[in-house]
Amino acid sequence: MTTGALLTVVGARPQFVKAMPVSRAIARTPGLTEVMVHTGQHHDAALSDSFFRQLDLPEPAENLGIHGGSHGEMTGRMLAALDGVIARHAPDLVIVYGDTNSTLAGALAAAKAGVPVAHVEAGLRVFDRSMPEETNRVVVDHLSRLLFAPTRAAVGHLAREGLVEGVFHVGDVMQDAVLAMAALPDQGDGVLRRLGLASGAYAVATLHRAATTDSAIGLAAAVGYLRQHAGRLPVVLPLHPRTRQAAGHFGVDLAGLTVIEPLGPVDMQRLLAGCALVLTDSGGLQKEAYFHRKPCVTLRDDTEWSETVEAGWNRLWTVDNYRPRREIDDYGAGDAAERIVATIAHFVAEHLDAPSAAAGIRP
């Protein structure tokens, strides 16, 4: 049997989680092999290495150790390093996730080398090109041969940009990952017990986006909003290193919040499962709140996950009330990874004997 060689590029913690169900599905699929490359974008051992251990992901074949610097500098260094990685491993397809600098670098390096790209979480848009993530999404989608959209809205966004070939509405791999983590045994003595929390009697918050942490005004506004809620119930804030550094730099006081060290992925899911409310500037956590059926407030002026707002589980912090609540049927039944890998296997099998047809980027 001819083997299709897949190279997966990850760099940020949410990408490790998304890769878990896909990597497991690849391992179960005859004719496919995977090499995972970690760019090093998220490099703190407490936030990176522990994810691979807790998610039972194989250690990356290569860790490029690239982090820090401006968006352009970081992406450029990753691009140069990944060029060599692709030359060494000669993959038939490169898989990238989401919208980070690692995503963009992986897609660009593959396209320059004439290797097809598969983009997981294709088609997300907030229609704000001032966001680095939005630029990354658009460029990566236009470089990709396989575009795996988590929602019908994402499929529509791609169609409006002329991208219809190779587009698949597969559901959301994060739902697959959340279901898989829920089935894992508690590690240690349970995160709620360790933190002295009672189920249903606290909120979970995260702050980490550059738009929040890069200015004193933005960070103070977000922290002030969390404090308003902390007057009603404890707000547990696993503190991202970037946010800790920004708070110190700008002199933003975190008093009144229950600040804890960052958690591994399984503990974070346990914390979400027991909370009463989620407050976040994260894209992924908005969905995870829904997967646990927890109301969410997004500390941003827009969201790439508009269906969570339309279905009444999420609201922007600029809006006072939720819409009427209903279930969301876009995210699939926990089989997104299987659908992605089946499509990849078919694509690779078709193109292994016709490399010239697979080479290059979307015309």
Question: What DSSP line would sit under 60-116, residue for residue?
Answer: PSEE-----S-HHHHHHHHHHHHHHHHHHH--SEEEEETTSHHHHHHHHHHHHTT--
In a domain, 296, yes or no: yes
Do 276 and 163 fall into the same domain? no
Mean pLDDT of 15-37: 95
pLDDT computed for residue 197 by the predictor = 95
Do 38 and 107 fall into the same domain? yes
In a domain, 214, yes or no: yes
Q: pLDDT tens digit string along 238-267?
A: 998 889 999 999 999 999 999 999 988 889
Do 286 and 344 fall into the same domain? no
Residues 25, 190, 43, 76, Cα dihedral to 10°: 50
In a domain, 178, yes or no: no
Across the chain, mean pLDDT equals 91
Contact criterion met (CB below 8 Å) for 211 and 301:
no
In a domain, 29, yes or no: yes
pLDDT classification of 358: cutoffs 50, 70, 90:
very low
pLDDT computed for residue 4 by the predictor = 93
Mean pLDDT of 11-32: 94
In a domain, 247, yes or no: yes
Do 350 and 276 fall into the same domain? no
pLDDT classification of 25: cutoffs 50, 70, 90:
very high
Question: 208 catalytic, yes or no?
Answer: yes
Do 146 and 263 fall into the same domain? no
pLDDT computed for residue 47 by the predictor = 56
Q: How far apart are CA 99 and CA 137, in angstroms?
A: 5
Percent of the chain residues past pLDDT 90, beyond the cut: 79
pLDDT computed for residue 354 by the predictor = 64
Do 352 and 259 fall into the same domain? no
In a domain, 341, yes or no: yes
Residue 46 has pLDDT above 70, yes or no: no
Q: Please report how many Cα atoms fall inside a 13 Å half-sphere around the Cα of residue 57, on the Cβ side.
A: 31
- Domain hosting residue 87, numbered range: 4-172+333-358
pLDDT computed for residue 13 by the predictor = 84
Residue 95 has pLDDT above 90, yes or no: yes
pLDDT classification of 362: cutoffs 50, 70, 90:
very low
Do 93 and 222 fall into the same domain? no
Cα Rg, the chain, nearest whole Å: 20
Instruction: For residue 87, give the CATH number of its domain.
Output: 3.40.50.2000
Do 198 and 254 fall into the same domain? yes
Do 34 and 160 fall into the same domain? yes
- State how far the alpha carbon of 1 is from the alpha carbons of 8, 31, 45, 90, 348, in Å: 22, 6, 39, 18, 13
Q: How far apart are CA 327 and CA 349, in angstroms?
A: 37
Amino acid letter at 314? N
pLDDT classification of 318: cutoffs 50, 70, 90:
very high
Total domains present in the chain = 2
In a domain, 109, yes or no: yes
pLDDT computed for residue 202 by the predictor = 98
* pTM tops 0.85, yes or no: yes
185 secondary structure, DSSP code? P
Do 122 and 200 fall into the same domain? no
Q: pLDDT tens digit string along 55-82?
A: 878 789 999 989 888 889 999 999 999 9
Q: Please identify which residue in the block is written with the tokens 């704000």.
A: 128
Q: How far apart are CA 272 and CA 199, in angstroms?
A: 10
Residue 287 has pLDDT above 50, yes or no: yes
- State how far the alpha carbon of 35 is from the alpha carbons of 5, 25, 110, 203, in Å: 8, 14, 14, 38
Residue 2 has pLDDT above 60, yes or no: no
Q: How far apart are CA 181 and CA 187, in angstroms?
A: 11
**Exactly one of 43, 208, 292, 351 is catalytic; which is it?**
208
Token reading at 38: 């970690």
- State how far the alpha carbon of 360 is from the alpha carbons of 93, 109, 123, 144, 190, in Å: 11, 11, 20, 10, 49
Do 74 and 30 fall into the same domain? yes
Q: pLDDT tens digit string along 145-177?
A: 999 999 999 999 999 999 999 999 999 999 999
Range from 46-50, 158-162, 292-296 carrying the lowest mean pLDDT: 46-50
In a domain, 349, yes or no: yes
- State how far the alpha carbon of 213 is from the alpha carbons of 162, 173, 276, 316, in Å: 35, 28, 25, 18
pLDDT computed for residue 63 by the predictor = 92
- Measured on CA atoms in the order 98, 102, 108, 112, is the torsion positive or negative? negative
pLDDT computed for residue 137 by the predictor = 97
Do 233 and 274 fall into the same domain? yes
